[in-house]
């Protein structure tokens, strides 16, 4: 993963770290939201009791703040992104011999908004070079 951050993103990441005591591994401005990706096991700590840390960040940043827990397993990351929806089943397929043709096949409980689908596609491409996502 070779991601470059501009100065606004670095400032947002530093603010997130100051407020939550968790250094995010990634930060993305996504439409009217700001997405922070944290390491495994750090989502609860960064959100705080009753969401107090996130509420404070939202007031400071004047945007909705979303925290997603990273995973080295693409299916687990997919599951973390779609919360609060539940993943019924999911797997990665590779078409042909090239790693470039990876895709996610998933069954999800409930509807997923088109904005959330855009976010899923962006993050799965960003971290795992997954080119296709099929959600049922």
The class (CATH top level) of 74-135 is alpha beta
Domain ranges of the chain: 7-69, 74-135
pLDDT, average across residues 85-105: 66
Per-residue model confidence (pLDDT) at position 101: 61
pLDDT at residue 1 greater than cutoff 60: no
pLDDT, average across residues 3-25: 93
pLDDT, average across residues 34-43: 96
Per-residue model confidence (pLDDT) at position 53: 96
Give the HSE-up count for residue 65: Cα atoms under 13 Å, Cβ half-sphere.
28
pLDDT at residue 112 greater than cutoff 70: yes
Tell me the whole-structure pTM to 2 decimals. 0.86
- Fold annotation for 7-69: GMP Synthetase; Chain A, domain 3 (3.30.300)
pLDDT, average across residues 17-37: 94
Contact 71, 46 (CB under 8 A): no
pLDDT at residue 21 greater than cutoff 90: yes
Domains 7-69 and 74-135 share a fold: yes
Per-residue model confidence (pLDDT) at position 99: 54
C-alpha–C-alpha distance, residues 134 and 104, integer Å: 6
pLDDT, average across residues 77-98: 74
């Amino acid at each position: 993963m070779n991601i470059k951050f501009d100065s606004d993103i670095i400032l947002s990441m530093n603010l997130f770290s100051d407020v939550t005591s968790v250094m995010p591994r990634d930060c993305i401005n996504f439409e009217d939201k700001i997405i922070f990706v944290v390491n495994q096991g750090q989502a609860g700590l960064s959100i705080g009791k009753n969401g107090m840390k996130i509420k404070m960040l939202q007031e400071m940043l004047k945007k909705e703040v979303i925290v997603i827990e990273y995973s080295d397993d693409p299916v687990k990351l997919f599951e973390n992104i779609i919360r609060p929806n539940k993943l019924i089943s999911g797997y990665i397929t590779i078409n042909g011999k090239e790693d470039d043709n990876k895709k996610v096949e998933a069954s999800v409980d409930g509807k997923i908004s088109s904005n959330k689908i855009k976010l899923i596609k962006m993050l799965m491409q960003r971290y795992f070079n997954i080119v296709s996502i099929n959600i049922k």
